Amino acid sequence: MKCLNIHTVLIFSLIIISCNQLEDSFNLPGEDKNDIVYYELKNDYLAPESREFIEGNFPSESINSSYILIGKDSYGFEADLSNEMSLSFDEDGVFRFNRDHPFIKDRFSKGIYGFNRGGGGKGGEDKGDKEKDEGDREKKDRDKGDKEKDEDKNYKSERCFEFIMPYSIIMPDSSIISIAEENDMEKIKTWYDDNPNTKKRHKIQFPVDIKFLVSKSGENKVETLSSPKDLKKVMEFCKGGMEKFKEDRKRKGKKDKCKKQDISEIEECIKDYISQNFSDDEIVHARTVVTKDDVTLHIVKLKENGILKFNEDCHFID
């Protein structure tokens, strides 16, 4: 009898633990669980405030997976860490809850993307519309890549420094070409055209003055180089500057991902939809996320009507 009681207590304890695990998730304030949907995110699109919290409080852990929970009036974020813990954050990215097991996403319904034009996200997806959306996303990715290439080109066009005219070039046969204006550079090309078998490169005659075109102060600093060694140092400096430029751009891009946007930063097509359908309401803020499925979603909070979801083409998701 005593043994039976022990078994009963153990079973009852396991039931309590299991129930606690199912109910220990941070619930969005005032939301019915049945109204909440989730999307799994690319980890860079966890709210930046939440990422900063994790980096500051769990520096040795990485984010295994992340989610956004969206209800009718509010939303929040979930993050599973590499130590098997999971953390809950509110719509401001503020930490609210932690647990010693991964987020139990199956408690909620998976969110839809609303690719089909006519149904606001309900029903089956139209294949042609979905393919068009995928084509639009590919175009946006190409445009983003082109923009970064243009930024690189702009940086290179500024080039860190340039030689101040007039200066002189020593050709492989020891002849001197003076560069007093841009057109004089053609003389170097002509020399090589006249000497097609020459493989040696021409050299700068020192001393030479250079002008830095990128500086912290924003001024065009002038410096005199006295030797090839000085020039090598400047070239290394420029190379490091380019790497820093790329790293700063990457860091800025990461920080901006999923940031809270004010009305001036929200897509015009979304603002048009809201002005037509919720003319008496006002936008509180918005965030843009990218899901693990590589789909962009715009989450907009209104003062009176709560949360609205849009896909990347500004189509409302019901």
Q: What is the mean pLDDT of the chain?
A: 79
pTM strictly above 0.85: no
Q: What is the pLDDT of residues 83-124, one digit of tens each?
A: 999 999 999 999 998 989 999 888 899 999 875 433 333 334
* Residues contacting 201, CB < 8 A, separation 6+: 172
Q: Which residue would you say has higher pLDDT here, 299 or 7?
A: 299
| Lookup: tokens for 125 | 């997806």
Specify whether the backbone of 159 is left (phi greater than 0), alpha (psi in -120 to 50) or beta.
left
Q: What is the pLDDT of residues 59-83, one digit of tens each?
A: 999 999 999 999 999 999 999 999 9
Q: Round to whole Å and give the CA distance between 19 and 21.
A: 5
Residue 83 phi, psi (nearest 5): -95, 15
| 171 CB-side CA count, 13 A | 17
Q: Are 240 and 232 in contact (CB under 8 A)?
A: no
* Residues contacting 206, CB < 8 A, separation 6+: 225, 226, 227, 228, 230
